[in-house]
């Protein structure tokens, strides 16, 4: 088939046609999936909730309503029970769209210009945040970005208390918000909890709006979120992937305090979008969320499988003296190509840049064994990933790394 798509990933000719359970496939092969829609498919491909919802769409003649609809109202009520500290939920279609609107809210409320972003956090395709920090300068991650966006963006280093406090104190009176992915896909680890609490406490003490981007961790952690797990309440939160269950959705959760300020100041903030809160996405999100929250074993088992995977491989790496390590927070997993002690993406990239050829070769070796290793290195299992599959993945991780590091 001739490919005319400019989207990322279509240039190498590898295209999938479907998925079932923990597997994805094309006409030639069936592969073990380690991505699951970047963590969206907690219940796996073509799962029972998806099938149920698609059947209801057809039987009830459900329309893709862009109007206020029953499905969106039901899902917002379920979210209200899950996150009692939030009084409003704004629906949109993607995480990037949710971040854009969250930043719009924070600027409208604070009337300040500077956004503080935390290195290593990924906030999607948002022009205002699509930069990285390098030697004290903002480096664009894409062509076509306006310089204005960079001028009002300052970075603080994840898990670096001294650097973070220095930058925050310097711009304290000009900050419109601090935005963070609390547990980062680039290095998921329990060690970050102390830093998350530090940043949250600093924001509250200095009356700075803090935004948690929990697109990946929402529902997956504790059947709710990192913030519920840590018993803290950001001013604004972003959710989506895990709650959505496979259809596009972004969720902006607005705290009671923020809602009251918006009402008091009579702020006119635009939240709309053609597919925002559409009946298909919100119906699947409602059924998916309800099912996972009512079945504790789903998330518990995912965590246990992930822990087993981490322990088996890290013990093997130690035994064979392979300089790699599995990092994990609950069911977020990442293989890092160094065994040095690291705490943030800057440190990780320092080592992995040197090992780029090894990382590429690792992915290719796994593919020959019908295992798809995610390009971003962030590994997920689903409730449909069996222990037999996990043991097979472990075996092939070991064999591939033995080849790369020339170990018998």
Residue pair 141/131 in contact by the 8 Å Cβ criterion = yes
Instruction: Grade residue 158 by pLDDT with cuts at 50, 70 and 90.
Output: very high
| Percentage of the residues of the chain whose pLDDT score is greater than 90 | 86
Q: Is the pLDDT of residue 117 over 90?
A: yes
- The confidence score (pLDDT) of residue 1 equals 59
| Percentage of the residues of the chain whose pLDDT score is greater than 70 | 98
Average pLDDT on 145-174 reads 93
Instruction: Grade residue 2 by pLDDT with cuts at 50, 70 and 90.
Output: low
Average pLDDT on 102-114 reads 96
| Residue 76, φ and ψ in degrees, nearest 5 | -65, -35
Average pLDDT on 271-280 reads 92
Closest-CA residue to 33 (of 13, 19, 15, 47): 19
- The confidence score (pLDDT) of residue 266 equals 96
Nearest-5° Cα angle at 217, 128 to 44: 115
- The confidence score (pLDDT) of residue 62 equals 80
Tens digits of residue pLDDT in 14-72: 889 999 999 999 988 999 999 999 999 999 999 999 999 999 988 887 888 777 899 99
Average pLDDT on 5-17 reads 77
Closest-CA residue to 208 (of 300, 116, 289, 288): 116
Nearest-5° Cα angle at 95, 94 to 100: 100
pTM of the model: 0.95
Average of per-residue pLDDT values in the chain:
94
- The confidence score (pLDDT) of residue 68 equals 86
Average pLDDT on 157-167 reads 97
- The confidence score (pLDDT) of residue 135 equals 81
Domains identified in the chain and CATH numbers: 10-47+296-404 (3.90.1150.10), 49-294 (3.40.640.10)
Residue pair 22/33 in contact by the 8 Å Cβ criterion = yes
Tens digits of residue pLDDT in 216-244: 999 999 999 999 999 999 999 999 999 99
- The confidence score (pLDDT) of residue 198 equals 98
Instruction: Grade residue 12 by pLDDT with cuts at 50, 70 and 90.
Output: confident
Least confident of 93-102, 129-138, 375-384: 129-138
Q: Is the pLDDT of residue 4 over 80?
A: no
- The confidence score (pLDDT) of residue 11 equals 65
Instruction: Grade residue 301 by pLDDT with cuts at 50, 70 and 90.
Output: very high
Average pLDDT on 86-103 reads 96
Tens digits of residue pLDDT in 335-394: 999 999 999 999 999 989 999 999 999 999 999 999 999 988 999 999 999 999 999 999
How big is the chain by its Cα radius of gyration, in Å?
21
Residue pair 170/133 in contact by the 8 Å Cβ criterion = no
Q: Is the pLDDT of residue 332 over 70?
A: yes
Do β-strands 332-336 and 371-372 pair in parallel, antiparallel, or remain unpaired?
unpaired
The two tokens of residue 133 are: 């920090």
Question: What is the Cβ-side half-sphere exposure of residue 133, based on CA atoms within 13 angstroms?
Answer: 20
Residue pair 291/283 in contact by the 8 Å Cβ criterion = no
- The confidence score (pLDDT) of residue 408 equals 80
Instruction: Grade residue 9 by pLDDT with cuts at 50, 70 and 90.
Output: confident
- The confidence score (pLDDT) of residue 134 equals 86
Average pLDDT on 289-301 reads 98
Instruction: Grade residue 146 by pLDDT with cuts at 50, 70 and 90.
Output: confident
- The confidence score (pLDDT) of residue 190 equals 93
- The confidence score (pLDDT) of residue 99 equals 98
């Amino acid at each position: 088939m001739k490919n005319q798509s400019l989207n990322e990933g279509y240039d190498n000719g590898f295209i999938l046609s479907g998925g079932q359970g923990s597997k994805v496939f094309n006409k030639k092969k069936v592969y073990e999936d380690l991505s699951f829609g970047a963590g969206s498919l907690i219940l796996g491909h073509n799962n029972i909730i998806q099938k149920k919802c698609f059947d209801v769409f057809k039987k009830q003649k459900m329309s893709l309503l862009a109007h206020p609809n029953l499905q969106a109202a039901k899902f917002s009520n379920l979210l209200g029970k899950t996150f009692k500290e939030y009084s409003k939920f704004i629906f949109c279609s993607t995480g990037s769209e949710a971040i854009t609107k969250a930043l719009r809210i924070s600027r409208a409320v604070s009337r300040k210009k500077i956004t503080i972003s935390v290195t290593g956090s990924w906030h999607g395709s948002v022009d205002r945040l699509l930069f990285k920090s390098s030697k004290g300068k903002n480096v664009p991650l894409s062509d076509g970005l306006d310089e204005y966006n960079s001028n009002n963006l300052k970075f603080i280093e994840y898990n670096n208390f001294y650097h973070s406090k220095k930058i925050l104190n310097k711009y304290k009176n000009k900050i419109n918000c601090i935005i963070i992915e609390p547990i980062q896909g680039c290095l998921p680890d329990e060690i970050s909890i102390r830093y998350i609490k530090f940043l949250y406490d600093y924001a509250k003490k200095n009356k700075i709006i803090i935004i948690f981007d929990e697109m990946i961790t929402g529902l997956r952690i504790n059947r709710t979120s990192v913030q519920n797990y840590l018993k803290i309440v950001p001013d604004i939160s972003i959710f989506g992937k895990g709650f959505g269950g496979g259809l596009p959705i972004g969720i902006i959760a607005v705290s009671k305090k923020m809602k009251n300020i918006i009402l008091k100041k009579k702020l006119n903030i635009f939240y709309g979008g053609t597919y925002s809160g559409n009946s298909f996405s919100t119906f699947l999100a409602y059924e998916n969320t309800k099912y996972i929250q009512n079945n504790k074993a789903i998330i518990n088992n995912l965590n246990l499988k992930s822990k087993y995977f981490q322990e088996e491989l890290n013990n093997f790496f130690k035994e064979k003296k392979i300089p790699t390590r599995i990092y994990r927070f609950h069911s977020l997993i990442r293989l890092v190509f160094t065994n040095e002690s690291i705490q943030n993406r800057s440190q990780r990239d320092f080592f992995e840049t040197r090992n780029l050829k090894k990382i590429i070769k690792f992915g290719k070796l796994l593919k020959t064994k019908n295992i798809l290793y995610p390009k971003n290195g962030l590994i997920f299992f689903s409730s449909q990933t069996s222990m037999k599959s996990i043991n097979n993945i472990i075996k092939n991780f070991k064999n591939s790394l033995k080849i790369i590091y020339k170990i018998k």
